[in-house]
Structures are given as structure tokens and as C-alpha cells.
Amino acid sequence: MLDCARLFENNSYQQTGSSQAVSLTRSESRQIAARYVEAFFELALEQKNAEKVDADLTALREVVAESSELQKLIHNPMASRADKAAGFAGVLVKMNAHEQTIKFVEFLAHKQRLIVLVDVAELFHERVVAHNDELTAEVISAKTLGDKQVQDIKAALKKAVGKDVNIVTKEDASLIGGVIIKLGSRMLDHSVAGKLNRMSAHLKAQSLATS
């Protein structure tokens, strides 16, 4: 993995040589971008900036898509790495981007990797979405649940599904007692009303079977 933190701190990546025109297939571009994204993401996550960096990179990707000047700058073999870094840093400053985002993009410029910027933005966003992919359970109860009850349910669900589960609580007096937990397409009914309904359905089925 790239040691981005060390590189950013001591600026050892900075070079002033001219860029070279490079042509990459989409597959090659994404493979290269993936290497940088993993390091960028881990550092941003460590410094609790992943969401902001994601928003910055997504916005920058849209700006680049609409700016022929920035596209020319990326592909101009006569522009130095320093000029490209400064150009994009200026754009990001105007966008009120986070300092870490600016350093990321400057790093790509000095590594002659602005050509994969679009893929970096896309893959970084995918990485953030994957990291935040938590399940949400709707917990319906007859009365307001206490904090401990909510935490107990959350812990039980995490043990059951193997990952964190966000809890959204709702109240429904018609339940009489207990709770109903809706997790995706699954529904766990532990309410008195639910038990009565299941008993009623069972008795009805028995009655039909004997009639």
C-alpha cells in the first residue's frame, strides 16, 4: 500500500519535470486508480475525512467533465507536474475542498496520474459506500423503548447478521405488547398481537381442515 501520509507530510513526491502523454484503457485506468484509492481511503478514514473527501472528489469529477480547459491540462504533455498540481489546487480551493483532498490531487499530479482522476473519484465513492453499507432495522413497539432495550436489540441483530445494524424505532399501540422487527424482507414478530394473530390463523386452519 502507498504510504500517503509520509509522502504528504514531507512532500517527497514533488517533482517539476514535464508530464508525458499517456493513453490507457478503462481497465488499466481503474487498476491504477484502485491502488491510490485504497491508500487515500484508509488515510481519509483514519483522519475522519472520508465523507468530505468523497464529496470533494465527486464535485471535482463533475467540474472536470464540464471543463475543456481542465481536460486539456490533464492531457497536455507540455505542462509540468507542478503546473498541473497548482492548477487543480486552485480549482479545489475555490470549491472550498478539504485540505486532504487538495493534497490527494496534488499527489496524483506529481505522480503523473491525473489521467486516472475520474476513476479515482468513482472508486473512492464506491469505497465509501461499501464502508457505510450498514443494514437498517425498523423496530415497532407498543410503547417507547428505553436506550438499553434498543442497544440490546442492536447487539442481538449484529450477532445474527454479522454486521452493524442501524435501528429506527416506531410506536404502534395496537401491538398490545412486545416488538416487531423488520429487517429488509424479514420480519421478526415478538408482539402479543402477533402471537394472537398466529394462534388465530392456526385455529382457523384447523377448523377448515376438519370441516
* pLDDT single digits (tens) 13-65: 444 444 445 577 878 888 999 999 999 999 998 999 999 999 999 999 999 99
CA 117, CA 111: separation in Å to the nearest integer?
Answer: 12
The answer to whether 24 and 116 are in contact (CB under 8 A) is yes
The answer to whether 163 and 135 are in contact (CB under 8 A) is yes
CA 197, CA 203: separation in Å to the nearest integer?
Answer: 10
Between 102 and 146, the more confident residue is: 102
Average pLDDT, the chain: 81
Residue 170, all three cell numbers? 416506531
Secondary structure class of 168 (helix, strand, coil): strand
Task: Specify the pLDDT at position 5.
Answer: 46
Q: Left (φ > 0), alpha (ψ -120 to 50) or beta: where does 184 sit?
A: left
CA 54, CA 123: separation in Å to the nearest integer?
Answer: 10
Q: Taking residues 189-209, what's their average pLDDT?
A: 65
Question: Which amino acid is located at 47 in the chain?
Answer: Q
Phi, psi of 117 (to 5 degrees): -55, -45
86: confidence class by pLDDT, cuts 50, 70, 90: very high
Task: Specify the pLDDT at position 12.
Answer: 40
Q: What is the DSSP code (8-state) at residue 166?
A: E
Alpha-carbon Rg of the chain, whole angstroms? Answer: 27
Task: Specify the pLDDT at position 136.
Answer: 77
| 91-121 residue pLDDT tens | 999 999 999 999 999 999 999 999 999 999 9
What burial class does residue 120 get, using C-beta atoms within 10 Å of its C-beta: 0-12 exposed, 13-18 middle, 19+ buried? buried
Task: Specify the pLDDT at position 127.
Answer: 87
Secondary structure class of 81 (helix, strand, coil): helix
Q: What is the DSSP code (8-state) at residue 1?
A: -
